[in-house]
Every structure is written in structure tokens, then in C-alpha cells.
Structure 1
Amino acid sequence: MALTRSYKHTINERIQQDPAFAQGLLDDAATLFLNGEPEVARIILRDLVNATLGFEELARETEKPSKSLHRMLSAHGNPNMDNLAAIFGAMRSWLKVDIEVHAVPTD
């Protein structure tokens, strides 16, 4: 029998050990939101929150109930723009990064 490892455990460990990976995930989440793939973006953000500041700290930072944040970042969540901005702001602060958006023309 092959030894297997939980995907979530692997992601959490990598986020905690590799700041560039964590920053890349935040960038991916923002890009996915802006490109019309909010379900995947919410899941990435949820994984990032779990591996970094946690939902209780995110609740303090955003002044939102932690259960509401869990629902917002579920696959079927529906956060409004103010809540998304607060979540991204907290993650930017925690990871000590800025987010810049660059428009790229399509062919």
C-alpha cells in the first residue's frame, strides 16, 4: 500500500515554509477573481487563511464574524466586494505584500 499525504496538509506546510508560494497563491486568488473564476479563488483564499493568520485572527482584522468568513470563503460562498477587499487587505498585511493589477490586451 502506498503512503499518501493529505493535500491540505501539504499546502499548509508549503505556505508556512515558503513565503513566495504564499504570495503566489494570493496573486492567483486575485487573478482568478478578476478573471471570472470566483469559486476557485475562494478555495485558494480559504487555504491561505487556514495556513497563515487563521479565521479567528481574520475575524479580528476584518471585524467580521469568523463563521461568516468561513461561509464567504466556501466553494459556494458569496462575499460582497467590501468583504473581499477586507480579506485581501488582511492577507496583504499578513504576508507583507502589495497587490498590483496590470491589464493585458487580448488578441
Structure 2
Amino acid sequence: MALTRNFKDTVVERVQSDASFAQALLDEAATLFLNGEPETPRLILRDLVNATMGFEQLSAMTAKPSKSLHRMLSPKGNPSMDKLAAIFRAVHERLQVNLSAHSVAASTEFVA
């Protein structure tokens, strides 16, 4: 029998030890969101929050209740654009990386 490990634990450890992996996840979340796929970016952001700051610190950074943030970043969450932008900004600041998103349809690039 093969030994397995929880995927979420693996992601948390990799984000904490590899800044380029964390940046790639953030870039992918932004790219997916800009290309009309809202569910996966919410889940990626949730994993990044759990790996970097936790929902309490995110709550302090965004002035939003942590329970609301948990709901927003759940598979069925539906955050407003303002709230999602605040979450992206907080994760971006916490990671201290550049954000690069690519729109497939328009072949344009957004860099923050």
C-alpha cells in the first residue's frame, strides 16, 4: 500500500517554502478569473490564504469578517468584484510578489 499525503498540506508547505510557486498560484488565479472561470480562482485564493496569513489576518487586512471571507472563497461563494479585488490585493501584498495575469481571449496581459 502506497503512503499518501493530504494534497492541501502539500500545497501549504510548497507555498511556504517556494515563493515562485506561490506567485504562480496567484497568477493562475488572476488569469482564470479574467478568463471567466470564477470557481477555481476562489479555491486557489483560499489555499493561498490558508498557507500564508490565515483568515483572521485577511479579515484585518480587508476589513471584512472572517466568516464572510470563508464563504466568499468557498466552492459556492459569490464575492462582489470589490471584495474579490480586496482579497487579491491582500494576498498580493502578503506574498510581496508581482502579479501577472493573461487573458486568453484578448491576448492581453495585466501586471500589478
TM-score in same-fold range (> 0.5)? yes
> CA–CA distance in 1 between the matches of 2:2 and 2:85?
43
Q: Residues 28-83 of structure 1, C-alpha deviation per residue, up to 9 Å, x if partnerless?
A: 00001111111111000000100001100000000000000000000110000110
Q: Could you list the runs of 5+ residues in structure 1 that have no partner in the other structure? A: none
Name the CA distance, whole Å, in 2 between partners of 1:22 and 1:32: 15
Structure 2 distance, partners of 1:100, 1:30, is 8
Could you say which residue in structure 1 is the equivalent of 2:76?
Answer: 76
The residue identity in structure 1 corresponding to 2:12 is: N
Q: Is 1:53 the counterpart of 2:56 in the alignment?
A: no
Runs of 4+ in 1 over 6 A off after TM superposition: none
Within the alignment, does 1:30 sit opposite 2:30 as a pair? yes
- Count of residues in Structure 1 that have an aligned counterpart in Structure 2: 105
Q: Percent same amino acid at aligned positions? A: 66
Q: Cα RMSD over matched residues?
A: 1.3
Equivalent position of 1:15 in the other structure: 15
> How many Å separate the matches in 1 of 2:74 and 2:86?
16
TM-score (norm 1): 0.93
| Structure-2 residue corresponding to 1:65 | 65
Deviation of 1:17 after TM superposition, in Å, equals: 0.3
For 1:92 and 1:28, the matched residues in 2 are separated by: 13
**Which residue identity is paired with 1:104?**
S
Higher relative CO (CA 8 A, sep ≥ 6), structure 1 or 2?
Answer: 2
Query: Are residue 39 (structure 1) and residue 42 (structure 2) matched?
Result: no
